[in-house]
Amino acid sequence: MSELDDQLARLERVAAAQLHDVVGRDPIEALRTLPEVVEAAAGIWAALPESPQVTADSDPMDRLLQATRTIGQVLRTHGGAYDSATARDEGLLPLGEALTETEALDLTSSDPAVARGQLMHIVHLSAHAARVRVAGDLIGPATRGQDRPLLQRGLAEATSVDELSGSYLRQAHSRRTTHAAQEPQDPRDLGLMLARWDITAHRAIVTADHPATLIHLAAGQSLSYQALQPLLRAIQPSGVDAQSEQLISRLEQAGRAWTDLGAFWQDLQGAPRSSPVGDRALLEAFRDLRTGFRDVLMRPNGEPRSAEETVSRLDVRDTLESIHQMLVSTAGHARAVDDVTQRPERIPVNARAGQRALTTYLSQETYPDQFLNQDGSAVITPRDIMLDRPVPLPQALRAAAEQHSTEVVRASTAAFHASGLAPTVSAPPSPVRGMSRRPEHVDPSPAGISRTSPAR
């Protein structure tokens, strides 16, 4: 791996970290800094050797530069205070500076198609982080009236950058899988598949407004945790050691937590005829995730691949990098789901399903007040049930929803900690759901699989 490959891989991780650090950040600073990241990436892009997929007439980076120039025009239109050079986003600014410095490296030492994919991934992650910050500020109560037009225009342009870069990545992935249909899987395909799921899942959580979104999200996360277990066993050259077994155990527990979360919301979704599909992009990404893991772990006839077959289809070092990033991202997704659960008005439930859940969790004779609002009216009325319409999540079910989301946060964080790239939770998590919102004990000693072992 060349110095350029190492640097771009590191910057991909830096960009991915922006997705989980959006609370309390200034959206205008993010809008001001995003064009600098794109411009720096475009400098490397232009200096790379020519690639048959990129021509002067169809260069996607030119389209991204046009979109970010529009962001600059929007900022200038809304006053000099927003065009000041003194305030930049503290996460995106170092990323742009590092990309500018990267241009001084030897750009001929890497596969230009792979390098362009990494650059586009960095832009995609950065644009999505900016988009989430702006969207979150717009739906929050603290947005100043004079900022709203600016944020609305900025959100539209950040969305353009997000979707253009995502489209390039999907097309590049499609080209590789089309040309190598009968060949061993490209070493980067698993990473791209997980990256697409990460981005789509994060966007879906931010805009979640139906139980189906949480159901599909939980299915994808549970699938990932289940698939990582045989994958990790396959890439251990001398058998699974005690530390790796600890990680696999944590993966099993995290997978069960996500499965339980999905089952809880599935019970509240209602009959298929009355339930929309939810986030279609998330459902599509879930199907791709399932197909990708199946291609790695299963033969075309449905039999499991041997460990040797599985490893032959992967770049072990890149796979371990992708696994680590997936564990980081899923812990972030769990926290985002927990945030959604704290605002249950965002996720209405089906009236009939909600009534069934109430009677399952509670006895009307023992807890009659839980079936009534403060004014004495029914939480779910006969008319709600007759019309089979969505209603707010009943108060009596919110504690159960919070228990599920708390367990998902705890189990996902424990799995990440056990990866050996962060402190580990010293005691295995209990299978009983608790209300604690953070692991109680942290052991600074590393455990599990490291990013640099085994050797490639």
Q: Which CATH number goes with the domain that contains 157?
A: 1.20.1260
What is the biggest distance separating any 2 CA atoms in the chain, rounded to whole angstroms? 75
> What is the full DSSP assignment across 109-160?
SS-HHHHHHHHHHHHHHHHHHHHHHHHHHHHSTT--GGGHHHHHHHHHHHHH
Helix axes 3-17, 92-102, angle to 10 degrees: 170
Last residue of a domain, one of 183, 206, 227: 183
Last residue of a domain, one of 132, 160, 183: 183
Last residue of a domain, one of 155, 183, 211: 183
Residue 356: name the closest of 366, 371, 372, 341 by CA: 371
Instruction: Please check whether residues 292 and 405 belong to one and the same domain.
Output: yes
Instruction: Please check whether residues 178 and 194 belong to one and the same domain.
Output: no
**Separation between Cα atoms, residue 427 and residue 425, nearest integer Å:** 6
Instruction: Please check whether residues 198 and 178 belong to one and the same domain.
Output: no
Residue 243: name the closest of 35, 446, 74 by CA: 446
Instruction: Please check whether residues 159 and 202 belong to one and the same domain.
Output: no
Number of domains in the chain: 2
Instruction: Please check whether residues 115 and 228 belong to one and the same domain.
Output: no
Instruction: Please check whether residues 13 and 96 belong to one and the same domain.
Output: yes
What are the tokens at 61?
């980076």
CB 267 within 8 A of CB 435: no
**Separation between Cα atoms, residue 120 and residue 114, nearest integer Å:** 10
442: three-class secondary structure by DSSP:
strand
Instruction: Please check whether residues 439 and 293 belong to one and the same domain.
Output: yes
> What is the full DSSP assignment across 189-201?
HHHHHHHHHHHHH
User: pLDDT digit of tens for each residue in the chain (456 aa)?
Assistant: 678 888 888 888 888 877 766 556 788 888 888 999 999 999 999 888 875 455 444 578 888 888 888 887 777 766 554 545 557 788 888 888 999 998 888 887 678 888 888 899 899 889 888 888 887 777 655 555 557 777 887 888 888 888 788 777 766 654 544 443 334 444 346 777 787 787 788 778 777 777 888 899 999 999 999 999 888 888 775 555 667 788 889 999 999 999 999 998 888 876 554 445 567 888 888 888 888 888 888 888 888 888 888 888 877 777 777 777 788 778 878 887 887 887 767 778 878 887 787 777 665 444 445 555 555 555 677 777 777 777 777 777 888 888 999 999 899 988 887 875 332 333 333 333 332 333 333 232 223 333 333 333
Instruction: Please check whether residues 399 and 298 belong to one and the same domain.
Output: yes
Which pLDDT does position 438 carry in this prediction? Answer: 31
Instruction: Please check whether residues 176 and 235 belong to one and the same domain.
Output: no
**Separation between Cα atoms, residue 388 and residue 384, nearest integer Å:** 6
CA dihedral of residues 293, 297, 301, 303 (deg, nearest 10): -140
Which pLDDT does position 374 carry in this prediction? Answer: 54
Residue 127: name the closest of 88, 86, 156 by CA: 156
Which pLDDT does position 86 carry in this prediction? Answer: 58
23 exposed, middle or buried (CB, 10 Å; 0-12, 13-18, 19+)? exposed
What are the tokens at 446?
């590393």
**What pTM did the predictor assign?**
0.56
Which pLDDT does position 180 carry in this prediction? Answer: 38
Instruction: Please check whether residues 381 and 408 belong to one and the same domain.
Output: yes
User: How many helices (H) and strands (E) are present in the chain, helices listed first?
Assistant: 15, 4
Residue 172: name the closest of 156, 193, 151 by CA: 193
Residue 42: name the closest of 68, 17, 18 by CA: 68
- What is the domain extent for residue 281? 190-456
